[in-house]
Amino acid sequence: MSIYTGNILRINLSYEKFNLEKLNFSWAENFYGGKGLGFRYLIEELAPKIDPLGKDNKLIFFPGIFSGTPLSSSSKLCIITKSPATQTILDSSVGGFLASEIKFAGLDGIIVEGSSIKPVFLEIINAEVKFHKAEFLWGLSTHEVEYKLRETLKDDNYKIISIGAAGENLVPYSCLTTELYRQAGRGGIGAVMGSKKLKAIAIKGTKGFKIDRPKEFLKKAQNYINKKSLNKNNLWAYTDGTPIIISMANSSGVLPTRNFQMATFRQSEKINSQSINQKLKKRKACFGCVLACGKFIEIDGVKIEGPEYETLSIAGSNCGISDLKAISLFNKICDQYGLDTISLGNTIAFVMELTERNMYDFGIKFGDQENYLKIPELVAKRKGIGEVLAQGVRAISEKYGGREFAMQIKGLEFPGYEPRGSWGMSLAYATSDRGACHLRAWPIGEEAFGDLDPFTIEGKAELVIKEQNLSALKSSIGICDFWSFDFKDLAKFLELFLEEKNTSEELFKKGERIWNLGRIFNLREGFRRKDDYPPERIFKDPLPNGKAKGKFIPKAEYDKMLSEYYNLRAWNEEGIPNLEKLKELNLETLWKIS
Amino acid sequence: MNLKFVKEKCIGCHLCELACSTTRLDIFNPKEANLIITYQYQDDDLKVKAELCNLCGKCIKVCPEGAISLEANNYLILNKALCNGCGICKSACPQGVIFMKDNFPQICNMCKGKPQCVKSCLHQALILK
């Protein structure tokens, strides 16, 4: 059964032109949609070493293949580009209503290329594009843009994605925002859009999405949702959402605290899901999703959908901030300016530690709520210390010192899981295609939060590979991370809804192909083994408290785990895939073995 | 029996609209549904409302050809042989849930007593009462 519309909308900002082109079906067959298909297009269309903030970079907006259908948790839009934060390949996904709207416009995806000289916003109705002047939007917050565009276009039905001042000012960890509170957060996609002077995209799809036998699909989807949703695997997303992890992380000794100097937070109860649920006003879903993980809360006059676990941990405990109102307000300001709360939270925590260690006085220490709340605006506008903080943890450490506790890999700041309390996470972060990321593999689920010994490297390389391949495939099919699946479940799922038969092994290989494609992109950029390491703190500083007290990962052990990972992937000691593996995956034309 | 919206249970997933267009028109298109759910941030708050056919009967009254009638089982049917496609029913519908498609009005027929919008609403924000 075909799940594609067959249409890709290509938009060139330099020439203000657009055209509808045919989807490359042979790529879609191997890579589905979303991440995998986006990777395939990007590696074909981008020459190595281009400037991510130059006109040669592209923005690829690919929905999951089931976006727009009545299948729950399929509304992820993947945005693929080259990252200005890391220089790696980057896919960042966002929920909300854009992915389905693109399908309702009769499209499988949108590719934006070139660069405008003056601020512009795009109005897309089905396959028609209008290029509008956007001076009147420039400088506005993402929230203001959404309201303003609905008013300007006189229609609430447009789905809008935009950047704030951070993206305009090319902050390398600026994000895209839609539905006010949903972000494609990581890796600096906002800056890529800002470099193209593209302030916003407003899209409306009126055509609808047609497949064969839609009624039969609806019936199958209804039965599937009834059976599989709001059960023990995913009910947490509805009741608590990601803040549920705070208590788990704290009791397991993996909650980043004070720039990863500790892994338990004495005031964690103030920021856990019970505290948030007391402030709950409404739950909010992405299109077609019954899990409604979005929590719209009101806390002493501050209204926000959020904060999520990553913000509560990295911009909360990791900065020594325990006031839920302050974290919520910080979150909201970041959303409005279009800043990634993970990268900014880490950056603040890092300069707090530099200040406390008297290495440089940034005028802010752990727990300093007042100054903490001033920083997002300074960073987004690159004013005062914001100019320095806007460069991110790696660049600051190169200038001011503290490299050993600069919690980043490849230039991307750490998410909210302490690797010393779950050793597989160090490998997951270090081998992730976009720098330190928890979404490519999450071995902590089996380690600190599960039954596996968290303080050993035994079996971790294999576990990380399995999860990376699975997540690459899920992000290509476009299923939300909150819908738990193993390869076997996925095989059944694809047979039911795509009428496509796969064994678990075949799906593993499809995921592996996508993963290797990302690696090839990064190899072309010059990434090698030396780039696949966490900072020294992970190897040297024993954790002072909590369940992982006294733990660090001996570097020799990490080296062994990394070599095992390369070996199992059929990559050499530098992390380069061997020819047999490339041939097996039909990728041999994309990487020249030297 | 009538469609009822339980505001506090709605999560804004729009699966009801999708079920409607799929059942009526064989297409996934929430903009071609006989119900309209609004679940959107406005003025820093979430605005939630639903427009549904409440069987008020205005469309029956205004139809110059008598093409719309209420079935005994409490749902509307359109007799296409009588309909002239004038669209007066669309304009008269206080809920705005009638729309024109291929020169005929699309009117909620409650899926002949088994509304798919209700079936698709796992959180029971849409019920038959």
Instruction: State pLDDT tens for residues A143-198.
Output: 999 999 999 999 999 999 999 999 999 999 999 999 999 999 999 999 999 999 99
Encode pLDDT of A114-134 as tens digits. Answer: 999 999 999 999 999 999 999
For A551, the 3-state DSSP assignment is coil
Q: Is B38 on the interface with A (CB under 8 A)?
A: yes
Q: Is residue A214 part of a domain?
A: no
Q: Are residues A481 and A374 in the same domain?
A: no
To test the contact with chain B by mutation, choose from A69, A100, A126, A284 the residue with the greatest count of B C-beta atoms within 10 A, namely A284
Measured between beta carbons, which residues in chain B are less than 8 angstroms from residue A103?
Answer: 28
Q: Using an 8 Å CB-CB cutoff, list chain A residues near B48.
A: 282
Asked if residue A384 is part of any domain, the answer here is: yes
Which uninterrupted H or E stretch holds A280? strand A280-284
Beta carbons of B55 and B76 less than 8 angstroms apart: yes
pLDDT score for A61 = 98
Q: How many structural domains are present in chain A?
A: 3
Asked whether the CA dihedral A35, A41, A44, A49 is positive or negative, the reply is negative
- Give the CATH number, domain containing residue A541: 1.10.599.10
Contact across the interface for A282 and B44, Cβ inside 8 Å: no
Tokens at residue A483, please?
A: 């819908």
Domain boundaries, given as residue ranges, for chain B: 3-128
Q: Is A170 left (phi over 0), alpha (psi -120 to 50) or beta?
A: left
Task: Give the Cα separation of A505 and A205 in Å (integer).
Answer: 37
Separation of alpha carbons A225 and A237, rounded Å: 15
A410 with A325, same domain: the answer is no
Q: Choosing among B10, B15, B100, which should be mutated to test the A contact, i.e. which has the most A CBs within 10 A? A: B15
Q: How many other CB atoms are found less than 10 A from the CB of residue A324?
A: 23
CB A339 within 8 A of CB A413: no
Q: Is the CB of residue B23 less than 8 Å away from at least one CB of chain A?
A: yes
pLDDT in tens, B55-86: 999 999 999 999 999 988 789 999 999 999 99
Q: Say if residue A356 is in the same domain as residue A414.
A: no
Q: What is the pLDDT of residues A353-387, one digit of tens each?
A: 999 999 999 999 999 999 999 999 999 999 999 99
Domain annotation covers residue A212 = no
- What class, spelled out in words, does domain B3-128 have in CATH? alpha beta
Q: Name the one residue in this structure whose structure tokens are 């964690």.
A: A268
Q: Hey, what amino acid is at A263?
A: A
Question: According to the model, what pLDDT value does residue B73 have?
Answer: 76
Task: Give the mutation candidate from A3, A65, A213, A282 for the B interface (greatest B CB count, under 10 A).
Answer: A282
Which residues span the domain enclosing A26? Answer: 7-204
* Among candidate residues A62, A20, A16, A4, the one with its CA nearest the CA of residue A37: A62
The closest of B92, B102, B8, B103 to B53, measured between CA atoms, is B92
Query: How remote is the C-alpha of A188 from its chain's centroid?
Result: 10
Tokens encoding A250:
């704290």
Q: Give, for A412, the enclosing helix (H) or strand (E).
A: strand A412-413
Which of A548, A531, A554 minimizes the C-alpha distance to A257?
Answer: A548
CA distance A163 to B41: 18
Domain final residue, candidates A376, A400, A424: A400
What percent of chain A stands above pLDDT 90? 99
Nearest to B12 by CA among B35, B42, B39: B39
> Please, which residues have CB within 8 angstroms of residue A292's CB and are 6 or more apart in sequence?
A237, A238, A283, A284, A285, B11, B12, B13, B123
Boundary-marking domain end, from A356, A375, A400: A400
CB contact under 8 A, B30 and A104: yes
Tell whether A225 is covered by a domain: no
CA distance A1 to chain B (A): 15
Unique residue bearing structure tokens 């007290």: A549
Q: Do the Cβ atoms of A229 and B122 come within 8 Å? A: yes
The mean pLDDT of A520-542, rounded to a whole number, is 98
Query: What is the structure's pLDDT at A324?
Result: 98
**Alpha helices (H) in A7-141, listed in sequence order:** 25-31, 34-45, 98-104
| Residues A258, A137 share a domain | no
Whether A147 and A192 map to the same domain: the answer is yes
- From the list A475, A409, A442, the residue with the least C-alpha distance to A39 is A475
End-of-domain residue from the set A370, A400, A430: A400
Q: How far apart are CA A205 and CA A158, in angstroms?
A: 8
Best residue of A73, A224, A287 to probe chain B, by most B CBs closer than 10 Å = A287
B41 touches chain A (CB under 8 A): yes
* A299 beta partners: A302
- The sign of the torsion formed by the CA atoms of A41, A46, A52, A58 equals negative
The reported pLDDT for the residue numbered A593 is: 64
In our burial notation (b when 16+ CB lie closer than 10 A, e otherwise), range B6-29 reads eeeebbbbbbbbbbbbbbbbbbbb
Question: Which positions in chain A touch B119 (Cβ < 8 Å)?
Answer: 222
* Mean pLDDT (chain A, rounded): 97
The amino acid at B62: V
Q: Compute chain B's Rg from CA coordinates.
A: 15
Which strand (E) or helix (H) includes residue A567? helix A555-568
DSSP label at residue A435: B
Q: Are A346 and A409 in contact (CB under 8 A)?
A: no
With respect to residue A218, please indicate whether it lies within any of the assigned structural domains. no
Question: What pairing do the DSSP bridges indicate for beta strands A109-113 and A7-12?
Answer: parallel
Whether residue A425 is predicted with pLDDT greater than 60 in this model: the reply is yes
> Interface pTM (ipTM) of the complex?
0.97
Question: Please, how many CA atoms are within 13 Å of residue A514, restricted to the half-sphere of its CB?
Answer: 35
Assigned token pair, A578: 């061997």
Q: Is the minimum CB–CB distance between B90 and chain A shorter than 8 Å?
A: no
pLDDT of A473-504, one tens digit each? Answer: 999 999 999 998 999 999 999 999 999 999 99
Residue from the list B11, B27, B122 with its beta carbon closest to the beta carbon of A214:
B27
Check whether residue A396 and residue A407 sit in a common domain.
no
List the 228-267 stretch of A: residues with Cβ below 8 A of B: 229-230
Residue of B nearest to A180 (CA): B41
**Could you tell me the CATH number of the domain that includes residue A300?**
1.10.569.10
Taking a C-beta distance cutoff of 8 angstroms, is the pair A191, A167 a contact?
yes
Distance of CA A187 to the CA centre of its chain: 8
* pLDDT tens for chain B, residues 1 to 129: 799 999 999 999 999 999 999 999 999 999 999 999 999 999 889 999 999 999 999 999 999 999 999 988 789 999 999 999 999 999 999 999 999 999 999 999 999 989 999 999 999 999 998
**What is the spatial distance between Cα A205 and Cα A178, in angstroms, rounded to a whole number?**
16
Q: What is the DSSP string of A251-279?
A: HHT---BTTTTBS--TTGGGGSHHHHHTT
CB contact under 8 Å between B31 and A215, yes or no, is no
| C-alpha torsion A434→A435→A440→A441, nearest 10 | 160
Co-location of A48 and A162 in the same domain: yes
**Which residues does chain A have within 8 Å of residue B15's beta carbon, measured at their own beta carbons?**
70, 72, 288, 290
How is residue A577 annotated by DSSP? B
Question: Which of B26, B28, B41 would best serve as a mutation to test chain A binding (most A beta carbons within 10 A)?
Answer: B28
Q: Which CATH number characterizes residue A187's domain?
A: 3.60.9.10
Task: Report how far Cα A2 is from the mean position of its chain's Cα atoms.
Answer: 28
A31: in domain: yes
- Interface size, chain A vs chain B, as Cβ–Cβ contacts under 8 Å: 93
The amino acid occupying position A347 is T
Contact by Cβ (8 Å): A159, A143: no
SS3 A209: strand
Chain B residues in contact with A209 by the CB 8 A cut-off are 27-29
Question: Considering CB atoms only, which of A209, A281, A286 is closest to B29?
Answer: A209
Report if residue A155 sits inside a domain.
yes
Name all contacts of A95-98 with Cβ < 8 Å and 24+ positions apart.
Answer: A95/A182, A95/A286, A95/A289, A95/A480, A96/A159, A96/A178, A96/A179, A96/A182, A96/A286, A96/A287, A97/A159, A97/A178, A97/A179, A97/A286, A97/A287, A98/A61, A98/A63, A98/A159, A98/A161, A98/A178, A98/A203
Helices (H) and strands (E) in chain B, counts: 4, 8
Q: Return the bridge partners of A435, or none.
A: A433
A402 Rama sector, left if φ>0, alpha if ψ -120 to 50, beta otherwise: left
* Segment A244-267 mean pLDDT: 98
Q: Is A390 helix (H, G, I), strand (E, B) or coil?
A: coil
- The predicted-structure confidence for A42-71, as pLDDT tens digits, reads as follows 999 999 999 999 999 999 999 999 999 999
CA distance to partner chain A, nearest, from residue B32 (Å): 8
> Are residues A572 and A436 both part of a single domain?
yes
Task: Specify the residue for token string 């019920």.
Answer: B127
DSSP letters, A109-151, are: EEEEES--SS-EEEEEETTEEEEEE-TTTTT--HHHHHHHHHH
Nearest to A439 by CA among A407, A405, A412, A403: A412
A420: burial class by Cβ within 10 Å (0-12, 13-18, 19+)?
buried
pLDDT at A594 over 60: no
Cα–Cα distance for residue pair A113/A494, rounded to 1 Å: 33
Could you report the per-residue pLDDT of A188-241, keeping only the tens digit for each?
999 999 999 999 999 999 999 999 999 999 999 999 999 999 999 999 999 999
Record: contact A288-B48, CB cut-off 8 A: no
Whether A210 maps to a domain, the answer reads: no
Are both A543 and A450 inside the same structural domain? yes
Q: Bin A212: left if φ > 0, else alpha if -120 < ψ < 50, else beta.
A: beta
Q: Are residues A521 and A407 in the same domain?
A: yes
C-alpha dist (Å) from residue A394 to A165, A387, A398, A420, A532: 22, 14, 6, 20, 15
Distance of alpha carbon A97 from alpha carbon A293, whole angstroms: 14
A70, A147, A281 member nearest B28 (Cβ): A70
